Every structure is written in C-alpha cells, then in structure tokens.
Amino acid sequence: MLPHLIADCYVVTQLRHTASKRGKDPTFRVAPAIELLKKHLPEGRRVVDIGPRNRIEPDLLEAAGWRVEAVDLWPMAPGIRRGAMERLPYPNCSFDAAVLIHSLEHARDLEQAGREITRVLRPGASVLVEVPVGAEPNAHDRHRFDVKEDVLRPFALAGARPEHLQTDRRGGALRVLFRLDRRLRVTV
C-alpha cells in the first residue's frame, strides 16, 4: 500500500473514533490521574494535555490549579488546538508537564511522539501517561502496553532518560508518572 494511503487510513480511523466519542465524559479517568500528578507538580505550572477530544479533561486539569493548553488531532471543542502528537504546534521547552490520558496508544509513530513530546517539555518536566493494558493493536489503538517499561520506552528512545516516579494499574488501565532527566538536551 502507498504511504499516503496508509496515512489517510490512519487519519480517517482516528476521526471516526473521535467523532463517536466527542461527548464522552472522561472524569472517571482524569480524577485519579490528577491525584497522582498533584503529588509531583505544583499548582500554576504549564501543562500540555495531549488528545483530550473535548473540554472536560482540560477543564478538570485547570480546576486542579494548572495552566493548561490542549491539543488534539481532531479537536471537538473550542479552545483545543489542532495538532498531532508527532508534530506539536508549540515551541521547544514550553511546558512543565504533559498529560496523555488514553491517547499515546493512538500514536501514528510512537518513537516520533516520544521525541516530540520531549521537545516541548522543559528539562525536569513531569509526564503522566494512562493507557489501556494489554489491548491488542488495531487500526485505532495502534500500540500495546503491558508494563511501565512499554510506556517509558518512546521517551527513552528520544534521549529523555525518564525517571519513573509512580505506577498505578487498575480498571484495565496503566497510569505511569515519570520525570524527564534534568540534564535533557533537545535538538531539533
């Protein structure tokens, strides 16, 4: 199959899934993630929320005291910027933290997503990733995650040297909180 057709299939699949869940309330997922992040990230810090779909997730993060910018491949609400996690529309070192709740498994290119997320984060930034556990890859959920090392790998490949802080596994989801090495050097 030609590369441009593969890309088009990816985009169509992601749009179809997003549209079907545009009004879904993610509070049951976001609340435990916020509690985990609060232990390691002071209020007032800049957070990029990658793949929130609608305004509920960024609003909950803002209510917890952080300054949030949201980006999604297919934003379904005002105030969410359009962009792919493999090519984020932000300058280098823009954020103190990144939150990816059920979005990393959709990456077109997991290693490139790790590089790009690392690029927009400041050295020492916190990253919170929540993914489904053990799901078989398909056209929409493209990557399988079983253990924390699966989550850390794309960031390690980006040269970020992630420092694991905490893991929480329940309800079919794996939450991994880590910090990027303070000596991180990003090159573009």
Can you tell me the distance from the alpha carbon of 67 to that of 107, in angstroms, rounded to the nearest whole number?
A: 24
At 165 the pLDDT is 96
71: Cα within 13 Å, side-chain hemisphere: 21
At 123 the pLDDT is 93
Helix (H, G, I), strand (E, B) or coil at 167: strand
Parallel, antiparallel, or unpaired: how do β-strands 162-170 and 67-72 relate? unpaired
At 182 the pLDDT is 55
Can you tell me the distance from the alpha carbon of 181 to that of 169, in angstroms, rounded to the nearest whole number?
A: 24
The whole model's pTM is what? 0.83
* Residue stretches of the chain with pLDDT short of 70: 1-26, 137-142, 182-188
The gap from C-alpha 186 to its chain's centroid, in whole angstroms, comes to 19
At 25 the pLDDT is 67
At 7 the pLDDT is 57
Residues 6+ apart with CB under 8 A from 8: none
Q: Find where tokens 């078989």 sit.
A: 136
At 28 the pLDDT is 75
Can you tell me the distance from the alpha carbon of 88 to that of 5, in angstroms, rounded to the nearest whole number?
A: 22
Helix (H, G, I), strand (E, B) or coil at 133: strand
